[in-house]
Copies of this chain bind each other. A is one copy, B any other.
Amino acid sequence: MTRPLAKPTRRADAQHNVERILEAAVSCLSRDPDASVSEIAQAARVGRVTLYGHFPSRDALVEAALTRVLAEGEELLAGLDLTGDPRDALRVLIRSSWLLIAQSSAVLEAAQASLPPERVHELHAEPARRVDQLIRRGQDEGVFRTDLPASWLTSALHHIMKGAAVDVASGQVDRADAPRLISETVLAAYRVDG
């Protein structure tokens, strides 16, 4: 068995460091979209030079962080059962992923400042589609209102989740209350009739 063309083996500690750097990047960037490379390296308890050894530029790091957090989101969403009543499905989705989705949005914002828009959209399109399709299904089944475009309902959900995350970060909202506040608000907003 011949080994793949690219070097297939990195030393274990190096691989571990890459992991730590990505975690730190997601964490830092979702707090401050303008977080510096030094800041991220420090958070990862790694020298700045080491970081540049793994990522050629800040932009590359941001893109990797975005890719990572979106992949996490994909994985989480893929593991959820979103069949059944769309209202219940939405509750499940919110309860189990509002924080991650809010975090993704924050990193995504960081990415928009330094990555070409089409690249950002390309990475973000797939995960966003999952939420969007749930909402469209709810519309088709008559439990979500159709007098407003699905794209707006999706957008509103994102804004509310992101806003809740900000409120939690600033202490205005208790972390444990957030899922309920989001669900109650969004489901009411989505209801038909009115």
Contacts and interface: CB of A to CB of B under 8 A. Distances in A.
Interface in A137-194: 145, 147-148, 151-152, 155-156, 158-160, 162-164, 166-167, 172-173, 181, 184-191, 194
Contacts of A194: 184, 187-188, 191
A155 B148 contact: no
A172 B188 contact: no
A34 interface: yes
A14 to B, nearest CB: 34
Contacts of A145: 188
Contacts of A34: 34
Contacts of A163: 155-156, 158-159, 162-163
B189 A185 contact: yes
Contact of A173 (B152, B167, B173): B152
A30 to B, nearest CB: 15
Counting chain A residues whose Cβ lies within 8 A of the other chain, the interface size class is: 20 to 34
Contacts of A185: 148, 152, 156, 189
A90 to B, nearest CB: 14
Given A160-B160, A189-B189, A191-B194, A155 B184 contact: no
Given A148-B181, A159-B159, 10 more contacts: A145-B188, A152-B173, A152-B181, A152-B185, A156-B185, A163-B163, A188-B188, A188-B191, A188-B194, A189-B189
27 contacts: A34-B34, A147-B184, A148-B181, A152-B167, A152-B173, A152-B185, A155-B163, A156-B163, A156-B181, A156-B185, A158-B163, A159-B159, A159-B160, A159-B163, A159-B164, A159-B166, A163-B163, A184-B194, A185-B189, A186-B189, A187-B194, A188-B188, A188-B190, A188-B191, A188-B194, A189-B189, A191-B194
